[in-house]
Copies of this chain bind each other. A is one copy, B any other.
Amino acid sequence: MSSNDAFIDLLARAKGASRALATATTAEKNAALEELARGLEAAIPEIVAANELDLRRGAEQQIGDGLLDRLMLDESRIRGLAAAVRDIVALPDPVGEVVRGSTLANGVTIAQTRVPFGLVGAIYEARPNVTIDIAALALKSGNGAVLRGGSAAEDSNRVLVRLIQEAMTRAGLDGDAVQTIDEFGREGAGRLMRARGFVDVLIPRGSAGLIATVVQESTVPVIETGAGIVHVYVDASADAEMAEAIVVNAKTHRPSVCNAAETLLVHRDAAEALLPRLLAALTERGVSLSGDERARAAGAPSAASDQTWATEHLDLAMGVRVVDSIAEAIAHIDRYSTKHTEAIVTNDFANAERFLAEVDAAVVMVNASTRFTDGGEFGFGAEVGISTQKMHARGPMGLQELTSTKWIVRGTGQIR
């Protein structure tokens, strides 16, 4: 059943193969993942060579050091990918788990049971590691995957997708379940967003602009991920040493990722004792600080604007504001938060509980670094992304978030 449309043919092949994958056993899926880990290690020279083509093109197009670093695959990173795939082998298979169930008064039994979504679409940019992460998680959860990895990583992704397909074939599964649509360019991305009926869920990973486009244009259900304007609020009663450790870690441990802090809010009663110390520690680590009037008085070199609070810097920049109360901190967060992760540092029990209850975000924290919002840290293994929406999945998404459910009903002839 081939049409004149290569794109539809590809989706139909992936859809057909994903049906068989939905009923594959855990042992079969794990065997394919083991094959993939081995295949990645065996193909290191080939992957590096393909990646070098991407890197050269990226350098010519001056895409910037940050993007080039994300794009780069060397032997050590490829071995890391293989290890991540093996970690997924060790995770429990979510498919078949009975979420809840009961026997009705008339003897009919009902069991809500996890099933794969079917075919998962992913749109991302210049991150070939995401190709392996998402395909491996999709495979383990019994889903097919249609991947749009973007032109910047096209050569790397072509090799990686072929390795995934080959690993599945070696394990006796249908490799057609995983496909790249990079060859169809931007038009392919647009068609993927409208492939309702073929694609069951679409996951964009990348810039706020990419995610906004997918949300606007997609008729396929979308799980939003990513953008993080993350706040750390240092309350009046905060321990000075703990506050410094958390603020420095949240901002500087890995500033380019979504769980890194972007804004520091400090209660005025802590400002005098604490703020100079916090600002000095951040400055020492190369953070460029923009503050409101009171933060400038305490040492922030430049002036913050409304734009400062509304920006996900993703580098060593941070806005600093002194607030008069926890209510003012929560109001600031409410206005600027992307509802990813929000943290309070405090020793006041009531304030901690109030912050946890009132702040609306995927993850709310007391006295811990925002860097803990991560599938690996939460024990999920590799993560699909961090959902910042409220439907279906919220926060780090692992295998379970790649499943739907189905009610299985068994009777002996009951009618109403």
Residues of chain A whose beta carbon lies under 8 Å from any beta carbon of chain B:
23, 102, 104, 108, 110, 112, 115, 117-118, 196, 200-201, 215-216, 219, 221-223, 239, 241-242, 245-246, 248-250, 253, 352, 356-358, 360-369, 371-373, 377-379, 389-392, 394-395, 404-416
Contact = CB atoms under 8 A, between A and B. Distances in A.
Contact of A239 (B201, B248, B373, B413): B413
A250 B409 CA distance: 15
Contacts of A215: 196, 219
B366 A409 contact: yes
Copies of this chain, whole number: 2
Given A391-B391, A394-B407, 17 more contacts: A104-B377, A104-B379, A115-B360, A221-B222, A221-B389, A245-B415, A362-B407, A364-B408, A367-B410, A368-B413, A369-B411, A369-B416, A372-B411, A373-B407, A377-B416, A391-B404, A394-B405
Contact of A390 (B104, B118, B379): B118
A365 to B, nearest CB: 4
A410 B405 CA distance: 31
A343 to B, nearest CB: 8
B414 A369 contact: yes
A190 to B, nearest CB: 15
B249 A368 contact: no
28 contacts: A104-B378, A108-B368, A108-B372, A117-B390, A118-B390, A200-B391, A221-B221, A223-B391, A239-B413, A246-B415, A248-B415, A249-B415, A249-B416, A250-B415, A352-B410, A361-B406, A362-B406, A364-B408, A365-B409, A365-B411, A366-B410, A367-B412, A368-B409, A368-B411, A371-B415, A372-B416, A377-B416, A378-B407
